[in-house]
Amino acid sequence: MSKFSLKINGNTQVVDVDDNTPMLWVLRDHLKLVGTKYGCGIAQCGACTVHLGDNAVRSCQIPVSSVGDQEITTIEGLSENGEHPVQQAWLEVDVPQCGYCQAGQIMSASALLKRNPSPSDAEIEAAMNGNICRCGTYTRIKKAIKTAATATENA
């Protein structure tokens, strides 16, 4: 067990956990930030996607000891109250069915739009291919990403 000082959603949080503990479980079990979901534990489903700096990463594969002073953003910290254009687009398109994978989808989508504000269909597909939606909302996810891209362009 070691103490780690983590920068999460703009705050510094201290946790006392085993060095190998994946960020996913630090967030969920120790910091009670349960918006980041467990789906597979092997970086295959994308449910646990968070931002490390500006990059979308699978938090189930990031040991807490490797984070250092890098900024972590989770779904809870993406915006104050769901105002991020991607979150707003998700509501407008009414994307979710069960909703379980959507935080991960939103985190992948927002990272994509940050580096590529108007992605093509192929670019969306490539960026979102690591996020499984078992309910099959892929067409709505794509539509919401395009809606968010347009909203950002016009803002």
Site string for other proteins, 2-21 (x = CB under 8 A): ---------------xx--x
Select the residue interacting with other proteins from 114, 138, 146, 151 (CB under 8 A). 138
User: Secondary structure of 29-84 in the HEC alphabet?
Assistant: HHCCCCCCCCCCCCCCCCCCEEEECCEEEEHHHCEHHHCCCCEEECHHHCCCCCCC
Which residue, 97 or 152, is less far from other proteins as judged by CB?
A: 97
Query: What's the Rg (C-alpha) of the chain?
Result: 15
Helix/strand/coil for 94: coil
Which residue, 73 or 155, is less far from other proteins as judged by CB?
A: 73
Question: Which of 30-67 are b and which e, b meaning 16 or more Cβ less than 10 Å from the residue's Cβ?
Answer: bbebebbbbbeeebebbbbbbbbeeebbbbbebebeeb
Please tell me whether residue 35 binds other proteins under the rule CB under 8 A: yes
Q: What is the full DSSP assignment across 113-134? A: HHH-SS--HHHHHHHHTT---T
Residues 86-115 that bind other proteins (CB under 8 A): 87, 90-91, 94, 96-103, 106
Select the residue interacting with other proteins from 73, 140, 147, 148 (CB under 8 A). 140
Select the residue interacting with other proteins from 2, 14, 40, 55 (CB under 8 A). 40
Residues in touch with other proteins (CB under 8 A): 1, 17-18, 21-22, 25, 28-30, 32-42, 44-45, 47, 74-76, 79, 81-82, 87, 90-91, 94, 96-103, 106, 121, 124-126, 128-142
